Structure 1
Amino acid sequence: MTMADSGMAMPGPVQLSVAIDDAEQRDLLSPDALALLAEVHRRFDPRRQELLAARRERQARFDAGELPDFRADTRAIREDDWRVASLPDALVDRRVEITGPVERKMVINALNSGARVFMADFEDSSSPRLDNMLAGQVNLRDAVRGTIEYTAPNGKHYALNESGLATLIVRPRGWHLDEAHVRVDGQPIAGGLFDAALFVLLNGSELHHHSRGPYLYLPKLQCMEEAQLWEEVLAFLEVRTGLPIGAIKVTVLIETLPAVFEMDEILHALRCRIVGLNCGRWDYIFSYLKTFRAHPDRVLPERGQVGMDQPFLKAYSELLIQTCHRRGAHAMGGMAAQIPISGDDAANEKAIERVRADKLREVRAGHDGTWVAHPALIPVALEIFDKYMPAPNQHHVPRDDVRADRDALIAPCRGTITQAGFNNNVEVCVRYMAAWLDGQGCVPIHHLMEDAATAEIARAQLWQWLHHEGQHLDDGTPVDFTLFDRALLALPSRLGDRALLPGGSRIDEAIALLDRLTHADTMADFLTLEAYPDL
């Protein structure tokens, strides 16, 4: 189906492969928007494809035994004295940020939440159906203009507060993800180009007029060249939409293992617009697993034992703080995924205490802010950061004591695999993917808000444990495909009534997908890429 089939003009060969039933969503794809998307694709997708090929070549070298390290050809960037551009007033104080999908009620609640920043997530918290992506753009457009409202089925009405709203930052999809339903010259446009271009076109002037952006969170970068491509894309969008060069400000998530060795370089590539780096720790753990998928000496224990106190994660977060503060940028902490436990005060307080301890570790280490997944955690995180960070940030904390060399950044951590941990990985992956296939990208499971990153950890760990010989549960039981197959067979009865679960009707598809990916000889790069054709 073409845009002409939908009753809309087409500026050149831009095609949609699905119908858009919602009039507001169709209106977003105006002739100007389609022309911009076509030009962005033609200018920048060839370079994106080159960089994705470079990722595959890099991973092949890791699979052959090479270890990631700092680059020799960029030593001057790391050693020279330079700083990023000054920070905009709206982003000087980011002590607590909340993140979540671009659903309408979520957008309202997050902006009203009392957090300093709301990261509206088109990536790991969203299922990338085209209707979800376009509905998210409608929601953000209305939020930027202050007109967003929502009435729930129970009659409860939601609208924005008159003051105290969080600053909006938008996370587009990563370079690896296509928007398969929007094609230019017969090729799918990059999901990130689609998300960023539409958001800036729709909202850039309005946000800039009010000194509130536009601001982006850039995910899944692996190297400075990928950051440089974003720099070129954003400068192009500024020119095309009439914004001053440098108006679009960005924060980069350091959530891949290769990127931790190029933090200076990434900051340098984006130095005219970057305001900080973020410890995207869940994706970072997944990236560690994927990078070392062929290294039996770097198998990690179950997820619950891979905390930020483990040496390789501690080194990563402290090097990020040192690097950012040297360059005048924010060093943002990681996500607290806990959600309130109703009906069990003792268990709830225990979970909240873990959040307090994590946020205390972050603020004492020198982080300038942190993330939470649920509004109930905002007062907990704020109390810690207000007490230990009275200034707007901690750029004055240089962390000159940090010595994070290559070996420290890749050191494996030791621990165990329990039967409960093994079964939990199976359950989390299946339940998350069932919900994702059904259009929901953020799912509460066992009092944690699971997204694509945590499902990736579960899936990657299962593959790693089963494909490297000699792995055992803590009771001596061999970790083998017999154990895995039994866990998959037992899962449906453990889940109970599927009608009560998000995506319950797609549990069988999710089980089949996990079974196929786990038995594959090579660990797939991304679960969401493998599942996307079934979405």
Structure 2
Amino acid sequence: MSSPSLPKGLHLTTSVPSEGSKIITTEALEFLAILHRTFESRRQELLKNRVKVQAELDQGKPLTFLPETKDIRDAPGWSCAPPAPGLEDRRVEITGPTDRKMVINALNSGAKTFMADFEDSNSPTWSNMVLGQANLYDAIRRQIDFETNGKQYKLVEKPAVLLVRPRGWHLPEPRLLVDGVPMSGSLFDFGLYFFHNAAELLKRGSGPYFYLPKMEHHLEARLWNDAFNLATSHLGLKQGCIRATVLIETLPAAFQMEEILYELKEHSAGLNCGRWDYIFSFIKKQRAHKQCVMPDRSDVTMTVPFMDAYVRLLIQTCHKRKVAAMGGMSAQIPIKNDPEANERAMSKVRADKLREVTAGHDGTWVAHPALIKIALEVFDEHMKGPNQYHIRREDVNVTDKQIADSTVPGKITEQGVRDNVSAALSYCAAWISGNGCVPINYLMEDAATAEIARVQLWQWCKYASKTDSGKTISPSYLQPIFSEESAKVSKLPGIDPSHVKVASEYMAGQVKAEWPSDFLTSDLLGHLEGVGVVGGSGKKASL
């Protein structure tokens, strides 16, 4: 462990792992300080606007397409930047966290691109954040090879193109204080990666490419665009070298897709259907309305009206502006001990990818290398060129009411309730332990699944929903289920029972709350090592 010489006004609350000393350098910290001091006040304003919008929704104000930006949506003459090197064909992308073995396996997987994730499939421990950056640094320079237990891990000649997903605007990096304030996790992740690797990537014929999560307003995209311009200018690089794909994974963002593309026009690489987080946001944003209560999580599929409308609008919007419309995640893990169950699962994956490619998507996501062959076969058969920008979907006419349509056929079952409890407890306990990518029932789950489970349990309690067997869901009804599922989760490999206790207490508090918290990752951040107390002051880290 070590610490660099700190620029004036900066404070690290913990020491730097020795493997991360090339990442947390004095020069890199100076660059981060510039980003923070330039953009922090705007970030805070935008976060306050989220609170304002939620209050308006709670009072019944509907979300609509913004009248003040109608000229942008109607203007036929603008388009986004052409695809950057390596992003012309993105038919299958694999995603995952940034540990060393995962990075090598993902880059070698045969997927067109790999999204290295500092966000939802990552628990933001200090070592995960810093060593993840070191692993990407080494991968870009092809010095990531290593051996463990007699097995060699080595990059292939032509690995997947690398993209990076920083944390969302709402999350801080509490281990780095700038002028006494925790830095934005977004700018910390982006800034370190860009500072160390942008010039090297460009020299190697690629570029600094990103996925941007959790935005709720086009002005949040403008903030990213301004950060890109400042960073590029500060390092003396060519303007426009950055490309960013935005995940449309919040309900407000679905009404501002074109505006988001417009704000990032010079840097845009398209939009992605962040479908699990979108379901979470759909429930959370409409939390005050009983008519928006959802059935079992498994019934909220891509074919329900609000999901279908959002997908059709996203594809139309992207192709209108000549950028990629990326499909969603298939989280399935092969079921090795049951061939028949595995084939049923893989058939669902094929059907999902067929629906995406025939709808007009230019690519799709998978969480496991075994799914790449399936996804490639489907896209290769139905997408002969590198993309489908030519499919304009001019037949699509999605209304604001269709986007907000809460009609979802299905029912709430006792098993569905139990599955939500189990998923939330399993994920939260693993996340506190430092693992943000968790296999649950042969699905590789990240924070989005736990978030859906959490807000559904809250919603069902809030509105005293009944199961199909007639039982009223309430905190007292859930209490024995929490106890039973906690006992099961505590016995899982790699799970610390004390972390299950924290997760159970947290969830028990959530289902009793007047409103659910915005993000469980914000709520549980204080339980990660070195986060609960900042700089010895006794104060918890916060935005």
Query: Smaller-chain TM-score range?
Result: over 0.9
2:246 to 252, 261, 271: 252
Q: 2:439 aligns with which of 433, 436, 444?
A: 444
Match of 1:225 among 219, 222, 233: 219
The answer as to whether partners of 1:435 and 1:504 remain within 8 angstroms in 2 is no
Matched, 1:186 2:192: no
Per the alignment, residue 26 of structure 2 pairs with: 31
Q: Output the CA distance in 1 between the equivalents of 2:365 and 2:3.
A: 43
Structure 1 counterpart of 2:145, one-letter code? E
Q: Which amino acid aligns with 1:87?
A: P
What TM-score do the two structures reach when normalised by structure 1? Answer: 0.97
Q: Secondary structure at the match of 2:325?
A: strand
| 3-state SS of paired residue (1:359) | helix
Tell me the secondary structure at the aligned position of residue 27 of structure 1.
coil
Alignment partner of 1:299 out of 287, 293, 303: 293
Residue aligning to 1:513: 506
Cα shift at 1:401: 1.0
Which 10-residue stretch deviates more, 333-342 or 503-512? 503-512
Question: What amino acid is aligned across from residue 372 of structure 1 in structure 2?
Answer: V
| Structure 1 counterpart of 2:66, one-letter code | R
8 Å Cα contact 2:3-2:15 kept in structure 1: no
Q: Which residue of 1 aligns with 2:524?
A: 531
* 2:157 partner letter: E
TM-fit CA distance, 1:26: 2.7
Identical columns (%):
49
Q: Report how many aligned residue pairs link the two structures.
A: 526
Among 313, 328, 334, the residue aligned to 1:340: 334
For the pair 1:198 / 2:192, whether they are aligned, the reply is yes
Cα distance, 1:217 vs. partner? 0.5
Partner SS for 2:265: coil
Task: Supply the distance in 1 between the matched residues of 2:364 and 2:391 (Cα, whole angstroms).
Answer: 16
Q: Secondary structure at the match of 2:468?
A: coil
* 2:317 alignment partner, one of 318, 323, 328: 323
Secondary structure in structure 2 of the residue aligned to 1:431: helix
Alignment of 1:81-480 (within 5 A): 81=76, 82-152=78-148, 154-163=149-158, 165-412=159-406, 413-469=408-464, 471-480=465-474
Distance 1:252 1:416 in 2: 33
CA contact (8 A) 1:437 1:503 kept: no
> How far did residue 24 of structure 1 move?
2.5
Q: Which moved more, 1:63-72 or 1:170-179?
A: 63-72
- Correspondence for 1:491: 485
Task: Give the drift of 1:385.
Answer: 0.2
CA distance in 2 between counterparts of 1:376 and 1:476 reads 41
Query: How far off its partner does 1:271 sit?
Result: 0.4
Residue 52 in structure 1 maps to residue 43 in structure 2: no
In structure 2, the residue matched to 1:62 is: 57
Kindly indicate whether the alpha-carbon contact (under 8 Å) linking 1:440 and 1:502 is maintained by their aligned counterparts in 2: no
- Structure 1 CA distance for aligned equivalents of residues 255 and 496 of structure 2: 38
> Letter of the aligned partner of 1:100 in structure 2?
G
Distance 2:336 2:200 in 1: 40
Question: 1:354: how far off?
Answer: 0.6
- Aligned 8 A contact 1:436 1:503 in 2: no
Whether the 8 Å CA contact 1:443–1:502 is kept in 2: the answer is: no
Using a 3 Å threshold, how does the CA distance of structure 1 residues 504 and 207 change in structure 2: closer, same or farther?
farther
Q: Partner letter of residue 28 of structure 1?
A: I
For 1:316, the aligned partner's letter is Y
| CA distances 1:220-251 after superposition (whole Å, capped 9, x unpaired) | 11111000000000111101122111101110
| Structure 1 residue 400: Cα displacement | 0.8
Q: How far apart are the structure 2 equivalents of 1:59 and 1:256?
A: 12
- Per-residue CA deviations over 1:438-475 (Å, capped at 9, x if unaligned) read 10010001101110111100101100111013x11111
Residues 80 and 202 of structure 1, relative CA distance in 2, 3 Å threshold: same
Distance across 2 between alignment mates of 1:305 and 1:96: 26
- Is this contact kept in 2: 1:113–1:375, CA < 8 A? yes
> Alignment partner of 1:147: what SS?
coil
Query: What is the rounded CA distance, in whole Å, between the counterparts of 2:164 and 2:2 in structure 1?
Result: 28
**Alpha-carbon distance in structure 1 between the residues aligned to 2:230 and 2:205:** 20
Gaps of 5+ in 1: none
Distance 2:486 2:58 in 1: 35
Query: What is the CA–CA distance in structure 2 between the aligned matches of 1:269 and 1:286, rounded to whole Å?
Result: 25
Q: SS of 1:403's equivalent?
A: coil
CA distance in 1, matches of 2:19, 2:430: 25
Superposed CA RMSD in Å reads: 1.2
| Contact in 1 for aligned 2:425/2:486 (Cα 8 Å) | no
Relative distance call for 1:23 and 1:354 in structure 2 (3 A) is: same
Using the alignment, how far apart are the partners of 1:344 and 1:144 within structure 2?
39
Distance 1:374 1:107 in 2: 13
- 2-structure distance, mates of 1:130, 1:518: 30
1:481 alignment partner in structure 2:
475
TM-score normalized by structure 2? 0.95
2:85/2:207 contact within 8 Å kept: no
Residue 13 of structure 2 is matched in structure 1 by: 17
Task: Encode CA deviations 1:284-309: one digit per residue, 9 max, x unaligned.
Answer: 00000110111111111111000001
| Counterpart contact for 2:475–2:508, Cα < 8 Å | no
Partner Cα separation in structure 2 for residue 423 and residue 460 of structure 1: 14
Uncovered stretches (5+) of structure 2, i.e. residues with no partner: 529-543
Partner amino acid for 2:144? Answer: I
| Structure-2 change in CA distance of 1:79 and 1:129 (3 Å) | same
Partner Cα distance (1:208, 1:312) in 2 = 40
Report the more deviating stretch, 154-163 or 194-203: 154-163
The alpha-carbon distance between structure 1 residues 318 and 7, as it changes in their structure 2 partners (threshold 3 A), is: closer
Q: Secondary structure at the match of 2:398?
A: coil
Contact in 2 for aligned 1:336/1:372 (Cα 8 Å): yes
Check conservation: 1:431, 1:503, Cα contact below 8 A.
no
CA distance in 1, matches of 2:385, 2:242: 25
| Conserved 8 A contact 2:333-2:442 | yes
**Matched letter for residue 286 of structure 1:** F
The residue type equivalent to 1:520 in the other structure is: A
Match of 2:515 among 510, 522, 527: 522
